[in-house]
Amino acid sequence: MKTVQDVLNALDKITGGRVIKSLNDITRGDHPFVIQKSSNLPGKEIIETPGLVYGNMNNKVKKIAVTMTMTEGSIELAGVTGVDAIIAHHPIAEAANSGGVKLKDYLDLYNISVFELHEAFHGLHPGISYLHGHEVYRKDISYGGVHGNILFVGKTLPEVNTLGDILTRLDTFMGLQEEDELLFMEKEIRNNTSVIETSVVTRGRIVCGEENSSVNNIAHIFPHTGFTTDHLRQVIKEHPEVDTVLASISRVYDGHTLIETAKELGLNFVVGNCHVLEILENGLPLAYALDMLLPDVEVVVFRERVTSLPVRTMGTPQMKQYAEQMATKYLVHKEVSKLS
């Protein structure tokens, strides 16, 4: 029977020794992947602690779930399906990732151990660039000295010659036709044509250039990590052979300064996979690695699916009536009083 310690050992092997081994790794301040993340919002900063976040090293582990962001939904699904350990890609925060309550109280209820593996997992495999159709010849996970500001510079694969080839490749690998069909069925079942789903509405698109525009060398960026126009200008100085900017995980929209800078520099600009698909890009390779290293442990993947509906089209007739009654009677028509 495998234990939490065995899972930690597997993660350490996968990352080449990047997980924390003791509290000293957090407190001494020199571990390269123990990173504080802060927007200077009071009380909202977090420190990434790659490895075990909560759990007893001797606890038995028969089933592991890999997910992107742990939520109360993840914890409930784990509890009912016999998952002993959740491995989240994104860092875990008290209450934020446990339904507003303390992690200990919720996880102890179902005897679940939790791991995180964010920046410590980045850069370990070339899969995201491969999926987008290029082979990396330069990789930097702290470009410009900014932790987590990832840059890939790559040469397109032989089968990728145009911007259209990139989008076709992504649609095929990500199974977006299946997502289209699933969304169509949901609209039919709910009798609601207004349903929107993230992976469908955020699919890749060409911002600068045409489907038949040629592409040879790509600067692959991730805008949400702090990548700026100054960074883009510097990349092109360092790599004048680049003809295309590819933004993935996060994206930019019309009028963004990165797009305007790309136009100024005469570059193509294409948007690739959105963040919701990272469960396939990073989560699935991690799950396969765990499955190989821990053959006696069942490994599953928790995949989120987020939809949007206009407020008055959501729910059964009974739930619509319930929501309106609660809002009208208790939330809208009330006096504002001091906190007590």
Amino acid 182: pLDDT: 97
Both tokens of 205, joined, read: 């698109």
Confidence of residue 340 (pLDDT cuts 50, 70, 90): low
Fill in the amino acid letter for 300: V
Amino acid 339: pLDDT: 65
Rounded distance between C-alpha atoms, residue 210 and residue 206, angstroms: 7
Residue 312, C-beta contacts closer than 8 angstroms, at least 6 positions apart: 320
Amino acid 23: pLDDT: 79
The whole-chain average pLDDT of the chain stands at 95
pLDDT tens per residue, range 89-131: 999 999 999 999 999 999 999 999 999 999 999 989 999 999 9
Mean pLDDT of 30-58: 94
pLDDT over threshold 80, residue 43 = yes
Neighbours of 225 (CB within 10 A): 20
Amino acid 209: pLDDT: 97
Mean pLDDT of 259-281: 97
Amino acid 26: pLDDT: 84
Neighbours of 193 (CB within 10 A): 9
Fill in the amino acid letter for 337: S
Domains parsed from the chain with CATH numbers: 2-121 (3.40.1390.30), 127-276 (3.40.1390.30)
Confidence of residue 148 (pLDDT cuts 50, 70, 90): confident
Q: Is 191 left (phi over 0), alpha (psi -120 to 50) or beta?
A: left
Q: Tell me the β-bridge partners of 156.
A: 134
Q: What number of residues does the chain have? A: 340
Rounded distance between C-alpha atoms, residue 106 and residue 104, angstroms: 6
Residue 236: phi and psi, rounded to 5, are -70, -30
Mean pLDDT of 175-195: 96
Amino acid 147: pLDDT: 84
pTM summary value: 0.93
pLDDT over threshold 60, residue 314 = yes
- Provide the angle, in degrees to the nearest 10, between the axes of the packed helices 4-15 and 284-293: 120
Amino acid 335: pLDDT: 72
Both tokens of 93, joined, read: 């925060």
Amino acid 29: pLDDT: 81
Confidence of residue 24 (pLDDT cuts 50, 70, 90): confident
